[in-house]
Amino acid sequence: MGQTNLKHALERKYALLAGELKDKQGEVAKIQSLFELLPTLSARTQRIERLLECAEELLKEIDPAWVPAKVKAVRPNVHKAPVGIGRISKTALDVMRQAGVPLTISEITDRLLAQEGVGEVDPQTRQRIRNSVDSTLRQKAKKNIVAHDGAAFARKWNIVSRH
């Protein structure tokens, strides 16, 4: 009986360690990809600093009383698609064309992720992609997309062929 408990405890510990290893390997890969971006980001940072200096000089030329502290910095709107996914709407439509049968938004999202070679994504990212696919289909619903009866995300969609 003692060996069985020991075996279960070791298997549980093994599973925890294997999960932690997978998590840490993912973090390492993410950090390494960030290091690859460093030269590009540094160059862009220097360019932005130079542009700000020039704009500041022009604004002071126009209005000598102008003070940079009066201007609040605004972050640009950046699309948060996972790495490897380009335009979600175009890819979703490609997935639907390839399928040739009506699909739910979840099915389209799953196929989109598989087609783009994106592995596991966190639930929030998956939901964002799902929402983007849903938004795309709703926008194009009267043009070349048809929605079949069903409730919200259970509704099936397909592309109307124009021959």
Pick from 116, 121, 81, 124: which is nearest to 95 by CA? 116
The one-digit pLDDT tens for each residue of the chain (163 residues) are: 578 888 888 998 988 898 899 889 988 988 888 888 888 889 999 999 999 999 999 999 999 999 999 888 887 765 555 544 557 777 888 888 888 888 888 888 888 888 877 777 788 888 888 888 888 777 777 677 777 766 665 778 777 765 5
Residue 104, phi-psi category: left (phi > 0), alpha (psi -120 to 50), beta (remainder) = beta
Burial of 88 (0-12, 13-18, 19+ CB in 10 A): buried
Predicted TM-score (pTM) of this structure: 0.47
The CB-based long-range contact list for 120-128 (8 Å cut-off, 24+ gap) reads 121/82, 125/80, 125/82, 128/80, 128/81
- Predicted local confidence at residue 91, as pLDDT: 81
